[in-house]
A and B are shown apart, each in its own frame.
Chain A
Amino acid sequence: MAGKSAFNPFEMAQAQFDKVANLLDLDAGTRELLRFPLREYAFSIPVRMDDGKVKVFRGFRVQHNDARGPTKGGIRFHPQETIDTVRALAMWMTWKCAVVDIPLGGGKGGVICDPHNLSPREQEAICRGWVRQLAKDVGPLVDVPAPDVMTNAQHMLWMLDEFEAIHGAKYPGFITGKPVGMGGSLGRTEATGYGLVFTLREALKELGLRPEQTCASVQGFGNVAQYAIELYHQLGGKTLCVSCWDQADQTSYSFRKSSGIDLRELRSITDRFGGIDKGKARERGYEVLPGEAWLTQEVDILMPCALENQVTGDNAGGIHKRVRIVAEGANGPTTPEADRVLQQRGIFVIPDFLANAGGVTCSYFEQVQSNMNYFWEKDEVLGKLDVKMTSAFLAVSDLARRKKLFQRDAAYVIAVNRVAQACKDRGWV
């Protein structure tokens, strides 16, 4: 921050937008509107600490664009939160909601604080204080918060409780990320992994591949990966290799079985964090290979479902020539250099932003159910998720094909276009 050239996430998000705006040839007014948030709130939250002293925390909420519906986005508790980070994330939320075509805009919020230094009571006071400051400017029809960095279902319940106390009625649709039975939605655990495979299924169709004739290699064995594999296997596919982090050895390993992994078997020897017990895996006939081995397997599909920056310019060359699809379950698993390699080799990339949108779609479903106070069975949630993800995918791939765009760019173009259109329809620009 000392130099003017320092990395600024908001500037980066604007640059990304500018690139898409150029592709769309957007007019200056629309660009000006979308380059910045519609509204920003910055406020103080005084909290009586456990030791009796008062400490004042800084809170934010940025509502980037609500042309398509109430803004939606997480609340972060972060010790060095900056308004620019929040702005960038709010903008990304606008595009993310638009790409899966759910009627929501983008927002983000946060409080500068470190929960490591706060007791639960103090955190509760911050949550309630945050809502008190914004009670009139958020709500189920205005702006819907959700959990994010260092916040969880508990924080959401505190906030909801405060909001309802202020407004004197029940508004479960005010916030998402609630536990099942307290206004949460079934199917949330499965949503991201299943959503990934719904798009994968469509991609296979498009490439003329039958799922039962394909095989895949997956990085990560957490929630997303496990449910993605589950659904992929139901479609008839076979997973040859998964990798995961080994907490004890502080490194990652790949687990390979050429006849295909048995998901149920692997799950039984996996801890809560997706760490597979390597001794037990070996006993069950899995080859234990170095962590990066998942990437070089002879498979049709790669699903990076772990961390960002995993497929890089350095290792992308090692991807087997058989690979046709990379479905990004993680956020930003592919670096720009790697992107270029994939593009050159004609590998079909389902971009993160679309591929892992199952989560945000399910949040939208939670809000819908909360608003009507009627909660669906899991099948209904997942069925509706399938419809949303499939049509989102089709729109993106259709555009990519028609305009000869890389999938990632096509997804952005669609998203920005939808938002721009809504602004115009409303007569804003």
Chain B
Amino acid sequence: MDAAGAGWYCAMSDPPPTDEKSLAALQERAKELACLLAVEGLLRDTTQPLDDVFRGVIEAIPPGWQFPELCRARITCEGRTWQSPDFVDSPWGQCAPIVVQEHTAGRICVHYVREPPAAADGPFLDGEVRLVSTIADRLGHYLHQRNLERLLMDFGRDEARTAERPQAAWRGGLELVRQTDQNLYVRLARKMVNFLCWSGVREAQELMQRHAGNGEGGGEEPDNYPRRKLSLAPDFYRGTEPFELAARYLGDDEIFARIQRWMFEDRAKFLVKVLESQQSSLGEIADALRRYQQIVPEDSSLSRATLEAMKASLINRFLTEQLDFIKVAKQHVDVGAFLDLLDRMIFPATSHGKLGGKSAGLFLATQILRRAAAALPDGAEVKTPRSWYIASDALLAFMEFNDLDDVIQHKYKEIDQVRLEYPHLVQLYKNARFPPELVQGLSVALDDLGDRPLIVRSSSLLEDRLGTAFSGKYKSLFLANQGTKQQRLEALQDAVAEIYASVFGPDPIEYRRDRGLLDFQEEMGVLIQEVVGTRVGKYFLPAFSGVAFSRNEFRWSPRIRREDGLIRLVPGLGTRAVDRVSDDFPVLIAPGQPRLRANASVDEIVRYSPKKIDVINLETNAFETLELSQLLAECGAEYPALAQVFSVVRDDRLHKPVGLLLDPAKEQLAATFEGLIVDSPFVARLHAMLRQLEQSLGTPVDVEFASDGKDFYLLQCRPQSHAEDSVAASIPKDVPRDQVVFTARRYVSNGFVPDLTHIVYVDPRRYAELEDQQTMVAVGRAVGKLNKLLPKRQFALIGPGRWGSRGDIKLGVSVTYSDINNTALLVEVARRKGNYVPELSFGTHFFQDLVESSIRYLPLYPDDEGILFHERFLLGAPNILAEILPEHAALSDVLRVIDVPAATGGNILRVLMNADLDEAIGLLAAPGTREAGRLAAEPVLRRGEDDHWRWRYQMAERIAAEIDPVRFGVVAVYVFGSTKNATAGPGSDIDLLIHVRGGDARREALENWLDGWSLCLAEMNYRRCGYRTDRLLDVHIITDEDIARRDSFAIKIGAITDAARPLPIGGRVADPIP
């Protein structure tokens, strides 16, 4: 076809007429060109019946001539004739031979039925003469093409015709090839000889050497010398010798199959070529892919190697260049699937872009699940919402079109500058225009998607990569997509522009900077997806949606295994399931054990059921969060799959609603998903999908999904992400025994709890010996007070049995969630009692609270074999309970508070938890070496977080150094709180304690001076991290009297725990106060 194409271009590139016949001549050329194009169009498809094609050509010819009304055409070919109805073999005609592979197969003639007017230079123009021969040329190529394809088909058919005549089949076919396409024949012969050589046929090797000139190519030569080249005489391959040889060694069937496959591969070569060339644009690939589909009926007609190479190239071009991904993906996709993708892809003409991570992940997951559909229960069909894709480099085209190229440098600016400029940048993008081809593409997409609400999501090339959980760093925007086409198109463009701007948002840039990804050329694919759901009243929402993980990191019962997975399910849009929401709870299900629920009693189930719902308001075109009860009261009857999502709460019981009698406006409903879990195959299907995806992708996965009440839709799939605090920690093996506080080997989840400064330890033995209930209650109350006093998220609670036990509080300390909500780690100790080990609660009493606030839970079984439990440390370290809670000093025997740095000479307790190994360790280590426990694979620098306190601390030092002790009457300056404890976050203030001696005037001057600092620091902090506060300093001024009385904040000076730290003022460290 390449040769044919060349002919076409030739005709077009003829030198234009240069003399005076300008306009008329140009018109004629245009007509000729149109004619040629029409013919070309007809000849593109070789599968049409020859009759139709030739008849079409005959009709297409007259309009190309100077006098179309007189013009008639005739084709004779292989003994048959096709002609215009009133064709006359007049004297005013011209003919050209149709040559197929150097044989004249027929001719094409164009005649005028009578003498045309003005026939000075003969009846035909020069161009017309050339046109006839060009068309004849094209017909020749076309016929050749057809022959070849028929040949291929015949090969195929012969194969089907039993084994009695395969020999004739391959010989006959091959002979035909030899006659029609010498080059192809030579390639086949060469392949056959190579194949025979590889198969170890000595004669073939000899044959090759014999025809290779000097005949000594096989000799051993030193490896580092270039091998002598064996020139292969082409003549040899033109003969029949290679195949005769093959016939001696191979069965007819095999020869036949090989030849057929090589011929197909030969046909598919153009696609390989296009794919391999870095120059080919997406448009060219799309064209090649379409042609490929017509020529190669099934992927299976090609060799595995060729197919794999093609798939790898396609994945590389469309999805990602990541080798890990390609390696997995090529096993699961069909070449044809890319064509579907291309049909819904928007890209600039010369695009070399990709889909981006999100789209690629979803594409691959869908392919995997489609292939495995038969293995899934109930033949579950996996649907994906209708989607359109904008290629990643459209962003560059957009920027170029609007002269926004200099924005690229934006990412290298200081982060505070990025933050300041960002709002401006967003507006700049939103006001920019889209290149016409993108507008066109978006318009087509909108026509296809209709007026259903849309979600426009970023699909960055960095996003969803293995090891880089970029989720949430870029934007996803919901569009109600209501109004006129023009309004909808504008809203869509606006959303895409905003997504584009988000590439340069301060958070992604800071995140990339931290991970060394800043220099990566950030192209951003965009995924435009129909929102799954139905209209309910004036709202649009799915019946339910959620996230599912193939590995369960939050087991609420020892019966649940990690492989049982986890589903977080909510009614309405999935936004509330994806993120942890502090004020609400998704329903948790372990798909492997769907009936073992985190909440057992009716009260628990209702308390921890979702109370809010995210929807799209179609009237205001806005994304909204509603009270679920409000939505149900307003339009509950329309809620899709109502009976699957909700249970009726009545008489201390949850009823699955039965039939039509349910009145959502009158009944109290709770979103329990009981009907969905128990009566539908949903959970089993999702579990099977998770397992399939995990197995195929070779890594745990998480998926987002939604349902409109009828069908299940997959929205996203990626390697299972971890919150930063739930990455598997590496467990060090060489820790000296005396530094280990405890080890665990059962029911361990992932986690990394660094730098715990305090341990609250309720001694199981002493607790069990308590005589009266009052004392047990008092222990709970004391723990609640410690929870408020100890530094937040820097202490661990270790206690017997079941924390939060109600009723029989002998089993565990009676606390509510508010009594423990500041701890970093909740440990339950199961000590053997006689011959049994008590069951632990797994935090069930407030399990979901723990999950949503990232408090880690760990069960300890100290009496298990091989487990270390450093009881001597826990019981022997100084107990500071009496000092910080004098009113509970009487509990000192049972309740111990250990200031870890004080007790260990500056060490902290670090807890490393690894669910993969099912191991955890709590060890004493030097503070600050936070990274020690992280896996090398996840080099998450918590620089951003560390920076907050470090910077604050430096500023505090600076203020202290700058303070004029005489002018302000300052005796000493101390820092305490989060800045001192290295726990400051972006919104933390700097707690300063300033000891003054002096009158009111000096004090006022000091306060003014500090206020200036405070304002400046707040502004600096905003520029650094985007956190807006009025002031950053929290200054507590104390006097000698305060210190004497140990009043107010004065107790922080020299305190037993969390003491304020003195800072040098004017180069002098504060005198320690006795």
Contacts and interface: CB of A to CB of B under 8 A. Distances in A.
Interface string B316-338: 00000000000000000000000
Contacts of A149: 806-807
Contacts of A383: none
Contacts of B650: 179
B808 A80 contact: yes
B768 A2 contact: yes
B595 A50 contact: yes
A6 B601 contact: no
A22 B770 CA distance: 27
A285 B28 CA distance: 90
A80 B653 contact: no
Contacts of A153: 651-653
B91 interface: no
Interface stretch (B149-157, B810-818, B947-955): B810-818
**Most chain-A CB neighbours within 10 Å: which of B583, B601, B603, B808?**
B808
Nearest to A115: B600
Residue of A116, A149, A250 contacting most chain B CB atoms (<10 Å): A116
A119 B598 CA distance: 10
Contacts of B596: 116-119
Contacts of A177: 652
B768 to A, nearest CB: 5
Given A116-B842, A119-B595, A150-B601, A6 B771 contact: yes
B802 interface: yes
Interface string A236-257: 0000000000011011000000
A256 B769 CA distance: 43
B833 interface: yes
A78 B769 contact: no
Contact of A3 (B600, B769, B772, B841): B769
Interface in B716-766: 765
A79 B802 contact: yes
A7 B600 contact: no
Interface string B758-791: 0000000100111111111100000000000000
B771 A7 contact: yes
B802 to A, nearest CB: 7
B818 A250 contact: yes
Which residue among A76, A184, A251, A272 has the maximum number of chain B CB atoms within 10 Å of its CB? A272
Given A121-B595, A154-B653, A250-B821, A7 B776 contact: yes
B606 A272 contact: yes
Contact of A248 (B583, B601, B606, B838): B583
A1 interface: yes
A319 to B, nearest CB: 20
A248 B770 CA distance: 33
B807 A152 contact: no
B652 A147 contact: yes
A2 B765 contact: yes
Contact of A273 (B556, B599, B607): B607
B593 interface: yes
Interface of B, secondary structure class, is loop
Contacts of A152: 601-602, 652-653
Contacts of B841: 79, 114, 116
A126 to B, nearest CB: 13
Given A2-B769, A116-B600, A248-B583, A335 B811 contact: no
B557 interface: yes
B810 A7 contact: yes
B668 interface: yes
A335 B774 contact: yes
A114 B802 CA distance: 11
A78 B768 contact: no
B769 A117 contact: no
Contact of A6 (B599, B603, B769, B774): B769
Given A184-B651, A272-B606, A79 B839 contact: yes
A85 interface: yes
A114 B839 contact: yes
A180 interface: yes
Contact of B838 (A5, A80, A121, A272): A80
Contacts of B807: 76, 78, 149
A120 interface: yes
B603 A273 contact: yes
Nearest to A1: B768
A50 B653 CA distance: 23
Contacts of B668: 272
Contact of A7 (B602, B772, B833, B838): B772
B649 interface: yes
A267 to B, nearest CB: 13
Interface in A111-153: 114-122, 147, 149-150, 152-153
A150 B599 CA distance: 11
B652 A250 contact: no
Nearest to A149: B807
A116 B804 CA distance: 14
Nearest to A332: B773
Nearest to A81: B808
Contact of A179 (B558, B653, B833, B839): B653
The prevalent SS among residues of A at the interface is loop
Contacts of B771: 5-7
Give 8 closest A-B pairs by Cβ, nearest first. Answer: A119-B595, A250-B818, A115-B600, A3-B769, A179-B651, A153-B653, A117-B557, A116-B844
A14 interface: no
A309 B841 CA distance: 24
A251 to B, nearest CB: 6
A81 B810 CA distance: 10
Given A79-B838, A150-B601, 11 more contacts: A3-B768, A5-B771, A7-B773, A12-B773, A115-B600, A116-B599, A116-B600, A153-B653, A247-B607, A250-B818, A335-B774
B583 A150 contact: no
Contacts of B600: 114-116, 118, 150
Nearest to B668: A272
A2 B606 contact: no
Interface string B801-838: 11000111011000011100100000000000100001
B666 to A, nearest CB: 15
Contacts of B583: 248
Nearest to B607: A273
Contact of A309 (B654, B777, B817): B777
B559 interface: yes
Nearest to B582: A248
B768 A6 contact: yes
A120 B650 CA distance: 18
B271 to A, nearest CB: 51
Contacts of A118: 596, 600
Interface in A25-76: 50, 76
A121 B596 CA distance: 10
Nearest to B780: A309
A9 B809 CA distance: 11
Nearest to A184: B651
A118 B597 CA distance: 8
Interface string B635-679: 000000000000001111110000000000000100000000000
Contact of A120 (B595, B769, B774): B595
A212 B457 CA distance: 64
A118 B775 CA distance: 32
A79 B840 CA distance: 9
24 contacts: A1-B833, A5-B771, A6-B810, A7-B772, A7-B776, A9-B773, A9-B808, A76-B807, A79-B811, A79-B839, A80-B811, A80-B838, A82-B808, A114-B841, A115-B601, A116-B599, A119-B593, A149-B806, A153-B653, A179-B651, A247-B607, A250-B818, A272-B668, A273-B603
Contacts of B599: 116
A154 B777 CA distance: 32
A76 to B, nearest CB: 8
A117 B777 CA distance: 26
A116 B769 contact: no
A243 to B, nearest CB: 15
Contacts of A9: 773, 808
